[in-house]
Amino acid sequence: MAAVVVMAILSAVLLSDIYRIVSMPGEYLVVEGEERTLDLILPIGIFATSESEGILKLNGMEVTTGGTSLSSWNPLIIQTSATGGGTIEFRLFGLIPIKKLTVSVISPARVIPGGHSIGVKLYTQGVLVVALADFTGIDGKSHNPASQAGIAVGDSIVSINNIKVRDADHVIQLLGGSKGEEISIEIKRGKQSLVKTVKPVKSQEDGKYRIGAWVRDKTAGVGTLSFYNPETGAFGALGHAITDVDTGLMLSVEEGEILESRIASIKKGERSKPGEIRGIFFEEQNKLGYIQKNTEFGIFGILSKAMGNEYFPEPIPVALRHQVKEGPAFILTTVDEKIGKFAIEIQKVAKQYHPEPKSMVVKVADERLLEATGGIVQGMSGSPIIQDGRLVGIVTHVFVNDPTRGYAIFAEWMVQHAEINTGNGAAKVDKTE
């Protein structure tokens, strides 16, 4: 009976260990010079190869280009000496292949943290349909040609009769030119491009031709710069997408700018009442850079002038997600005339193998920031989080019921979208300005 119990326990442990190994991500990132440990309980055979000599060691054994075999009852210690790659294949009892890992040894990306308050001005691709509404035509009847044609809230009107739409005024002009004849409207719905046939109707109210759609072509607001590469000017900000205030949908970018911003006032956050930083910026002055992408992980583009950060005049490494840990950290953010450094606590770190939001939960611990804002407020999105001398995360959202706490995204995910390592063809920042 005892033997049966022991076998059952061993089987459960075996299955658990196999599942843990199999569920590992296919790619394993390690920073050059770093040592990583994989906990292995059962006898696992390992066959590893390296693309060149001197990159990897496993439990002190050099991994060669021809391949290195070993078995491990103990935790597997991965040591790195140079950038490059290799593979680790796990074999149950040294015979049955159960998992193959691609190991990439990289140099950490290095950036200058932000914390600067910025104005954000974004022009959409085409115009965004934010509402549909009936109107009375000159015939005295109610009309909504857009709705009848299948145009919906959240669609972007890209062109009318094959003429690219510039802005909302341009739409009015093109509708007026239709003289009530059928027109072809190209819309973008998510990743789909669709063409709708619509017949504008002359409005009883003002005699203008309408289709019953309210549209928006731009938006503006205040946020926080997250980081930038001083060599290429590539930057990231906000940590989340810019969405339309009415539809909640992510705006597609035609063009946009970030601008210098000055804090005008602060509305402190309270339970169930998110606070807000209100900023002032002038659209035609003090342009800092150009927005190229609006994604669920923030806005990205190229700076046109050097920013500077008195706390970090030189670039610091960007942490990989496994390097982030629960415990003390600090954020850089602007609540008055200059960037401030404020203590926080990282309370929870999520296990994420692919880019996702809500990578960690953070809590404001600095009494100065709590006094000024009540915690995390709108306008602080994008504030960089520093831990152990590395950029580890970016503040994104506040907890509605607890303004002292909020979510942050791994800096690793944002830096990937900014294409910091490649520079994405960016020109160098003009450091003379």
Q: Which of 240, 261, 359, 383 is catalytic?
A: 240
Q: Match domain 109-126+218-433 to its CATH number in 3.20.20.10, 3.40.605.10, 2.40.10.120, 3.30.365.10.
A: 2.40.10.120
pLDDT digits (tens, 9 = 90+) for 278-287: 888 766 667 8
Q: In the structure, what pLDDT confidence band is assigned to residue 41 with cuts at 50, 70 and 90? A: low
pLDDT digits (tens, 9 = 90+) for 122-144: 888 888 898 999 999 999 999 99
Spatial separation of the C-alpha atoms in residues 6 and 311, rounded to whole Å? 58
Structure confidence at residue 333 (pLDDT): 96
**Residue 169 appears among annotated catalytic residues:** no
Residue recorded with tokens 């979510």: 407
Task: Name the residue ranges covered by the structural domains of the chain.
Answer: 20-107, 109-126+218-433, 134-211
CATH tag, 20-107: 2.60.40
Least confident range of 51-60, 349-358, 418-427: 418-427
Long-range contacts from 267-274, C-beta under 8 angstroms, 24+ separation: 267/377, 268/372, 268/373, 268/374, 268/377, 269/373, 269/374, 269/375, 269/376, 269/377, 269/398, 269/403, 270/374, 270/403, 271/401, 271/402, 271/403, 272/400, 272/401, 274/377, 274/378, 274/398, 274/400, 274/403
**Residue 381 appears among annotated catalytic residues:** yes
CATH tag, 134-211: 2.30.42.10
What's the pTM value of the predicted model, to 2 decimals? 0.82
Q: Which of 261, 381, 383, 397 is catalytic?
A: 381
Q: Dihedral angle at the C-alpha atoms of 300, 301, 306, 308, nearest 10 degrees?
A: 0
Q: In the structure, what pLDDT confidence band is assigned to residue 214 with cuts at 50, 70 and 90? A: very high
Task: Look over the chain and give the mean of its residue pLDDT values, rounded to a whole number.
Answer: 86
One fold for 20-107 and 134-211: no
Q: Which of 159, 366, 402, 417 is catalytic?
A: 366
Q: Check whether 430 has a pLDDT greater than 60.
A: no
Structure confidence at residue 13 (pLDDT): 57
Spatial separation of the C-alpha atoms in residues 99 and 22, rounded to whole Å? 6
Q: Of 418, 350, 366, 369, whose CA–CA distance to 114 is shortest?
A: 418
**Residue 155 appears among annotated catalytic residues:** no
